[in-house]
Amino acid sequence: MGILGANGSGKTTLLKIMAGVLRPDGGRFLWQGEDLLRSAARRAEAVAYVPQGTPLIEELSARDNLRLWYSPEALECSLDSGVLRQLGVDEFLKTTASRLSGGMRKRLSIGCALARDPAILLLDEPTAALDLVCKERILRCFEDFRQAGGLLVMVSHDPWELEMCDDWRLLRGGLLESYTYTGERRALIRDLEQV
């Protein structure tokens, strides 16, 4: 699902609520008949969140940041033939987070989020300001996640990301409205200006 909206419409706030970072005033987040806003333990099992920024521990290496999320066996398996290999995280394991490029930081953050095999991945503009090679690598990872049965909920205005979605919502006045994204940039701009 792609979530669209004008700047300041509350898209990031919505994801933070769904991730449990912010407390909601009301509403529900239903997954398999259970309200994940009422069950922090179930939400932690089912949901992973990749914010716009990269929440890494700056003085730790990429490998040490990963060790916070992965068991030793799972880490080595993922680096050898899993999502971390796909994202290319194995290429910069010894580098401290503070010295990583924006694309490396984003790939590492996504790798950390996928450590516990979530069913739902919340993404806040996941490939904004990244080069085309990095963007393609990340979007391929998301497509594999989706093909394996995972759900992606992403805030985006990037045409590449929006084309991955099969459902779109427009956030206006605190409400998510169904939206049909046709790939027409001018139509999207016009609709966003009406928000």
pLDDT in tens, 106-157: 999 999 999 999 999 999 999 998 999 999 999 999 999 999 999 999 999 8
Q: Label residue 195 by pLDDT band (50, 70, 90).
A: low
Tell me which fold the domain 2-193 belongs to: Rossmann fold (3.40.50)
CA distance 124 to 74: 26
Domain ranges of the chain: 2-193
Strand order in the sheet with 120-124: 47-50, 120-124, 151-155, 2-4, 168-172, 175-179
C-beta neighbour count of 89 within 10 angstroms: 23
pTM for the full predicted model: 0.93
Q: At 121, which amino acid appears?
A: L
